[in-house]
Amino acid sequence: MANIWGHLKTITKHKIAVTKLCFRCGLYKQGLLHDLSKYSWVEFSAGARYYQGNRSPIDREKEVKGYSLGWLHHKGRNKHHWEYWLDNAADGIQPLEMPLNYVIEMYCDRTAASKIYMKDAYHDGSAYEYFMRGYHHVLMHPNTKALLEHILIYQRDHGTDQTIAYIRKELLKNK
pLDDT tens digits, 90-139? 999 999 999 999 999 999 999 999 999 899 999 999 999 999 999 999 99
pLDDT tens digits, 53-75? 888 899 999 999 999 999 999 99
In which element (H, E) is residue 99 found? none
Helix axes of 41-49 and 4-25: crossing angle, nearest 10 degrees: 120
- Tell if the pTM clears 0.85, that is, is over it: yes
Cα separation, 129 vs 149, in Å, equals: 10
User: Which residues have CB under 8 Å from 86's CB, separation 6+?
Assistant: 93, 94, 95, 96, 139
